[in-house]
Structure 1
Amino acid sequence: KKYLTQVGDDGFRKQPIGAGPYRFVSHTPGVEVVLEANPGYWRRVPTVKRLVMKSVPEGTTRVAMLKRGEADMAFLLDGPDAETVTRDSRLALAATRHASAMWIEFADQWDPRSPWHDRRVRLAVNHALDRKAISETACLGYCPPAGIVVPPIMDYALQVEPPLYDPQKAKQLLAEAGYPKGFDAGDFTPLPGFWTTGEAAVNYLNAVGIRTKLRPMERAAFYAAWQEKKLRGLFLTAAGNSGNAATRLEAFVYSKGSYAYGGYPDIDELFQQQARERDPAKREAVLHRIQQLTVERVMFAPIWNTRVLIGVGPKVIDHTINLVPMSIFPSYEDMRLKSP
Structure 2
Amino acid sequence: MRFSRNLKAFGFAAAAALAPLAATGAQAAGTVTVAVALDPGSWDPIDTFIVDWASAATNIFDGLTSRGPDMKLKPGLATSWEFLDNNSRIRFKLRENVKFHNGEPFNAAAVKFTFDRLLGEEGKKGPQQSNYNAIERVEVVDDNTVDFIMKQPDPVLLTKLAGYGGMIVPPKYIQEKGDEYFNTHPVGTGPFKFVEYNPKISLSLEAFPEHWGGAPKIDKLVFRMIAEANTQIAELQAGRIDIATLIPFGLAPTVEKSSNLNLVSITGPTTVALRLNTKNGITKDVNVRKAMIMGIDRDAIIKAVLLGHAKPIASFQADLSFGYDPNLKPVPFDLAKAKQILKDAGVPAGAPVKIDFRGNDATFREVAQAAAGYLQALGLKPSLQPYETPVLLNDIIPNGKTGEAWHNAWGGWTFDYDNTAYLMYHSGEKWNPYDNDPKLNTLLEKQRSIYDVKEREKILHEIGRYVADQALEIPLYNQNTIYGVNKRLQNFDPPADRRFRFTDVTVN
Q: TM-score range by the shorter chain?
A: 0.7 to 0.9
Gaps of 5+ in 1: none
- Is 2:151 aligned against 1:151? no
> Tell me, what secondary structure is at the counterpart of 2:503?
helix
How far apart are residue 59 of structure 1 and its match? 2.0
Write the letter of the residue equivalent to 1:97. T
TM-aligned CA distance change 1:79 to 1:128, over 3 Å:
farther
Selected match of 1:300 from 473, 476, 488 = 473
The runs of at least 4 aligned residues of structure 1 exceeding 6 Å deviation read none
Matching residue of 1:272: 445
- Is 2:432 aligned against 1:260? yes
**Distance of 1:214 and 1:179 partners within structure 2:** 22
- Is 2:382 aligned against 1:211? yes
**Greater mean alpha carbon deviation, residues 198-207 or residues 155-164:** 198-207
Matching residue of 1:78: 248
- Is 2:283 aligned against 1:116? yes
Q: Is the 8 A contact 1:226 1:259 kept in 2?
A: no
Matching residue of 2:212: 42
TM-aligned CA distance change 1:177 to 1:25, over 3 Å:
farther
Write the letter of the residue equivalent to 1:40. E
Q: Is the 8 A contact 1:271 1:290 kept in 2?
A: yes
Larger radius of gyration: 2
Write the letter of the residue equivalent to 2:357. T
**Greater mean alpha carbon deviation, residues 41-50 or residues 276-285:** 276-285
> Tell me, what secondary structure is at the counterpart of 1:96?
strand
**Distance of 2:242 and 2:401 partners within structure 1:** 36
Count matched residues. 330
**Distance of 2:409 and 2:359 partners within structure 1:** 5
Question: Within 5 A, what are the aligned runs for 1:239-250?
Answer: 239-250=411-422
> Tell me, what secondary structure is at the counterpart of 1:83?
helix
Matching residue of 2:200: 30
- Is 2:335 aligned against 1:161? no
TM-aligned CA distance change 1:168 to 1:7, over 3 Å:
farther
Q: Percent identity?
A: 23
How far apart are residue 291 of structure 1 and its match? 1.4
Q: Is the 8 A contact 1:167 1:208 kept in 2?
A: no
Structure having greater relative contact order (Cα 8 Å, sep ≥ 6): 1
1:80-110 residue CA offsets vs partner (Å, 9 max, x unmatched): 011221222322110233444222223x33x
- Is 2:309 aligned against 1:142? yes
1:153-190 residue CA offsets vs partner (Å, 9 max, x unmatched): 33332222112122333444444444443334334314
How far apart are residue 30 of structure 1 and its match? 3.4
TM-aligned CA distance change 1:276 to 1:204, over 3 Å:
closer
1:222-270 residue CA offsets vs partner (Å, 9 max, x unmatched): 6656885677331141213214233332222222445333441111112
Matching residue of 2:297: 130
Matching residue of 2:120: none
Gaps of 5+ in 2: 1-112, 114-170
Q: Is the 8 A contact 1:319 1:330 kept in 2?
A: no
Selected match of 1:312 from 457, 482, 485 = 485
Matching residue of 2:423: 251
Q: Is the 8 A contact 1:182 1:208 kept in 2?
A: no
Write the letter of the residue equivalent to 1:259. W
| Alignment RMSD | 2.9
Question: Within 5 A, what are the aligned runs for 1:99-110?
Answer: 99-106=269-276, 108-109=277-278
1:190-238 residue CA offsets vs partner (Å, 9 max, x unmatched): 4855x334413322323332412262645x6666568856773311412
TM-aligned CA distance change 1:40 to 1:278, over 3 Å:
closer
Matching residue of 1:183: 351
TM-aligned CA distance change 1:21 to 1:224, over 3 Å:
farther
Q: Is the 8 A contact 1:96 1:328 kept in 2?
A: no
TM-aligned CA distance change 1:42 to 1:203, over 3 Å:
same
Q: Is the 8 A contact 2:267 2:310 kept in 1?
A: no
TM-score after normalising by structure 1: 0.84
> Tell me, what secondary structure is at the counterpart of 2:252?
helix
Write the letter of the residue equivalent to 1:237. A
How far apart are residue 75 of structure 1 and its match? 1.0
**Distance of 2:289 and 2:183 partners within structure 1:** 44
**Distance of 1:79 and 1:139 partners within structure 2:** 6
How far apart are residue 337 of structure 1 and its match? 1.7
**Distance of 2:294 and 2:458 partners within structure 1:** 28
**Distance of 1:285 and 1:211 partners within structure 2:** 38
> Tell me, what secondary structure is at the counterpart of 2:310?
coil
Matching residue of 1:335: 505
- Is 2:15 aligned against 1:15? no
